[in-house]
Structure 1
């Protein structure tokens, strides 16, 4: 996933640090991501969700709000409204680049901010909130003990996530007056609400209020046992897959046709998790699957292993070959299934030196229908003629080169 480090002016002119995660292949849409309160663009949930969306062709701009992370400006002078203005500024930067976002995603207080911003942005077609509060003022419970001092003295330093932040009276006044009640009915975009039932920071009743306040089209999906920060990789990947699948109903995610002269049948495999083995596989327009390794070999078991994919190819090719032959002969083949097993796994093979042929595939074919013994025997012979079977039986040549 190519990533550009960029900056753009925020609501007060301060330079906001951002990352633009781009697809390896065709760019079909753009999304804008808003992080949680006092978090940043590089928290695990933001990085993982962005990477998964980029894998299907959606570029994602994630940035640090004013005064946070690597962005300029003073956090003490910011507010919920200034976060919304930063989002509007990010949207304008993308539009100037010719990448107008159609999807906007917000996490926690960032979720409330994207709801507020989306109502004013005509180019947004889909909005997703993750663990968002219905009332932006809900965020003050994180520093409730300091609120009296802030109100009395104008500001106070508070500790959030083990880091010091100065909160001003203006912030309290701003979040108190920034209700979402008025903007939700006028969202003019499809809404996906994601929330964990056990979220101990922002309770799930906030999701219910957001969902009920918005008009259709809207969807509400729980994130099961995820925590508020969606810190586990599997929870972030699940959220990303949900967003990508759901957004396809409201955004035009069709991949453009290949340019003239481009080779047909090119399948691209892209690493999705540098800490594990998960990989995205794309082929042509709309074909996407994932490959992985079992948990026992350091993977996350979210997809077939490389040898599992080979076995799947053998099984699929066998069923297709038998169906084609039976159809040509007019035989009453009602259904065919193939069980395939392989005697080793990829992770073991990767540590094996090249030598004698050690691969053995076991293929068990089941056919149903009023077929006689001679027809079944012939189908068994035909199975050995399937193209993938023939490829596996004979030696092949793999030509490898390094891209520039």
Structure 2
């Protein structure tokens, strides 16, 4: 996915480092993503969610809050309220670019922040929380013995997930004073709550309280045995898939007309992870499948293989062609199924000259009160399917190579 890196002024005019992930095709909507407490814009969950949404035509802005990651400022001088203000500043930056966010996504304390910020981001239509606390004060229980130091010295060092950070008294006082019950009750936006029952940092009871406090439309999806930071690739991908599918129901995704010369639109394939073979396949504006390789070939076996996709195209086209003919003839065909297998065979075995070639075998099952003549005719019609003809005749493949560098501006 193309990416633009830039900075924008946060609540205290510090330079906040942002990453805007853009769709490779048409831009249909924009999401603003708030990362988990003390994390950064490049954590696994944020990257996976951004990649999945961009494949749906949704641009994603993720940024480091004040004092974190590549952003300037001191984190110990921030608070929950200042994080909310940073989110509002990020939304204003997007709006100034003509990309006002319609989807807000927040992870952990970032989830609490988007629930509060949504009221000040009028373009937002849908909100997603991931492992979010019902009250911001919930995070304070992770500070342990540092609470006494913060109270005494005004700042203290806290170990969170193996990272040592400095927390100021203002932050602690602010989160203790905050409550989100009214913000959630008056959200007036579609809400999706994602939470893992085994979350050891923010308990599942928080998701229950958020869900109960919210008005419809609202949805809750469990992340099963995922950890709080969604560090597992499969868990992150699952969360990303759920968000992408759910968001399409509530965002005004206006798909452009297909380009001239491509009546069925563009089939776009984009790799999910460069370390494996998993691919996002988006056919036109609405349809998505996964392509992959078996584990024995270095894949993760989470999608159809390329040849299975090709076999699926032949099988689907065969079934549709048979149905179209039987419908026109008003024959009593109740159901069609087509089993397709693919194999590499020697040319001489197929009665032709040359080297190895691909062989597809179709087993067609027709159910209904059809006589022998009708069944024979439908068997003949199967060979009329356009994909069958394309495979038999061969095809010309034109390939163009484009080079797309990451854009950067300040």
Q: TM-score range with shorter-chain normalisation?
A: over 0.9
Q: Is 1:371 paired with 2:370?
A: yes
Deviation at 1:163, TM superposition (A): 2.6
TM-score by length of 2: 0.92
Deviations 1:138-190 (A, max 9, x none): 11222211101111121112222333211111111011001112211121211
Deviation at 1:327, TM superposition (A): 2.6
Deviation at 1:257, TM superposition (A): 2.4
2:201 aligns with: 201
Q: CA RMSD in A?
A: 1.6
Give SS of 1:234's match.
Answer: helix
Please say if residues 8 and 90 of structure 1, whose CA atoms lie closer than 8 Å, have aligned partners that are also in contact: yes
Q: Is 1:83 paired with 2:104?
A: no
2:32 aligns with: 32
Give SS of 1:117's match.
Answer: helix
Give SS of 2:99's match.
Answer: coil
Matched residues in 2 for 1:357 and 1:196: separation?
Answer: 50
Gaps of 5+ in 2: 345-353, 404-410
Matched residues in 2 for 1:71 and 1:285: separation?
Answer: 36
Matched residues in 2 for 1:257 and 1:320: separation?
Answer: 25
Deviation at 1:263, TM superposition (A): 4.1
1:237-386 alignment, distance < 5 Å? 237-258=237-258, 261=260, 263-265=262-264, 266-343=266-343, 356-386=355-385
Residue range with higher mean Cα deviation, 296-305 or 53-62: 296-305
Deviation at 1:192, TM superposition (A): 0.7
1:91-170 alignment, distance < 5 Å? 91-170=91-170
Matched residues in 2 for 1:339 and 1:59: separation?
Answer: 39
Matched residues in 2 for 1:379 and 1:190: separation?
Answer: 49
1:182-201 alignment, distance < 5 Å? 182-201=182-201
Give SS of 1:219's match.
Answer: strand
Provide closer, same or farther for how the CA distance between residues 288 and 254 of structure 1 changes in structure 2, counting only shifts above 3 A.
Answer: farther
1:400 aligns with: 399
Please say if residues 6 and 17 of structure 1, whose CA atoms lie closer than 8 Å, have aligned partners that are also in contact: yes
TM-score by length of 1: 0.93
2:9 aligns with: 9
Matched residues in 1 for 2:123 and 2:325: separation?
Answer: 52
Runs of 4+ in 1 over 3 A off after TM superposition: 261-266
Q: Which has the higher contact order (CA 8 A, sep 6+)?
A: 2
Q: What is the number of residues matched between the two proteins?
A: 393
Deviation at 1:269, TM superposition (A): 1.9
Give SS of 2:105's match.
Answer: strand
Give SS of 1:16's match.
Answer: strand
Matched residues in 2 for 1:180 and 1:138: separation?
Answer: 12
Give SS of 1:334's match.
Answer: strand
1:175 aligns with: 175
1:41 aligns with: 41
Please say if residues 282 and 288 of structure 1, whose CA atoms lie closer than 8 Å, have aligned partners that are also in contact: yes
Deviation at 1:255, TM superposition (A): 1.2
Deviations 1:46-94 (A, max 9, x none): 0000110010000000000000000000011011111101001101100
Please say if residues 384 and 390 of structure 1, whose CA atoms lie closer than 8 Å, have aligned partners that are also in contact: yes
Give SS of 1:360's match.
Answer: strand
Give SS of 1:343's match.
Answer: strand
Residue range with higher mean Cα deviation, 238-247 or 90-99: 238-247
Matched residues in 2 for 1:197 and 1:322: separation?
Answer: 48
Provide closer, same or farther for how the CA distance between residues 373 and 27 of structure 1 changes in structure 2, counting only shifts above 3 A.
Answer: same
Matched residues in 2 for 1:127 and 1:262: separation?
Answer: 38
Gaps of 5+ in 1: 345-354
Matched residues in 2 for 1:393 and 1:199: separation?
Answer: 54
Deviation at 1:384, TM superposition (A): 2.3
Matched residues in 2 for 1:264 and 1:41: separation?
Answer: 38
1:216-255 alignment, distance < 5 Å? 216-255=216-255
Deviation at 1:262, TM superposition (A): 6.3
Please say if residues 254 and 285 of structure 1, whose CA atoms lie closer than 8 Å, have aligned partners that are also in contact: no
Residue range with higher mean Cα deviation, 99-108 or 277-286: 277-286
Give SS of 1:134's match.
Answer: coil
Matched residues in 2 for 1:166 and 1:328: separation?
Answer: 74
